[in-house]
């Protein structure tokens, strides 16, 4: 009974701390793959990009990317809809370790149909 009580106390303590949902501003790179009918879209953090704190100011024109560490912000609904067309088929999300091994950068990969 003491074990169950201590586990419940830990869960309550962890649940009472607010989660700080922060996402880095991303930039999309489209890579053409000749002869396949699709392109590869890679999302990586923007250099000197904004860090969105979703607990502070949620934005209606903010798209959360696969993996949860990156986000895209838009000025208009039209530009957001064009980007969403590219992001329909997620492939993977990962953290890439730098060469010196000190930092890890998030990335997300998508497949996009080639315009014929």
Q: What is the pLDDT of residues 65-94, one digit of tens each?
A: 888 889 888 888 899 998 898 898 999 999
2: CB partners within 8 A, 6+ apart: none
Whether 96 maps to a domain, the answer reads yes
pLDDT at 23 over 90: no
Specify the number of domains making up the chain: 1
Computed on alpha carbons and rounded to an integer, the radius of gyration of the chain in Å comes to 19
Residue 69 CB coordination number (10 Å): 21
Whether 57 maps to a domain, the answer reads yes
| Residue 18 φ/ψ region, left for φ over 0, alpha for ψ in the -120 to 50 degree band, beta for the rest | beta
Whether 3 maps to a domain, the answer reads no
Q: Which residue has the tokens 């329909």?
A: 88
How, if at all, do strands 22-32 and 70-73 pair?
parallel
Whether 5 maps to a domain, the answer reads no
Instruction: Say if pTM beats, i.e. exceeds, 0.75.
Output: no
Domain residues for the domain of 50 are 20-113
């Amino acid at each position: 009974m003491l074990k169950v009580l201590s586990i419940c106390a830990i869960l309550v303590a962890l649940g009472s701390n607010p989660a700080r949902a922060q996402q880095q501003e991303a930039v999309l790179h489209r890579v053409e793959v000749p002869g396949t009918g699709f392109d590869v879209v890679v999302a990586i953090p923007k250099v000197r990009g904004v860090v969105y704190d979703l607990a502070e100011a949620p934005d209606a024109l903010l798209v959360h990317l696969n993996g949860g560490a990156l986000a895209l912000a838009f000025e208009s609904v039209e530009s957001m809809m064009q980007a969403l067309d590219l992001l329909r088929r997620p492939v993977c999300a990962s953290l890439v370790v730098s060469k010196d091994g000190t930092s890890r950068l998030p990335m997300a990969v998508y497949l996009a149909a080639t315009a014929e």
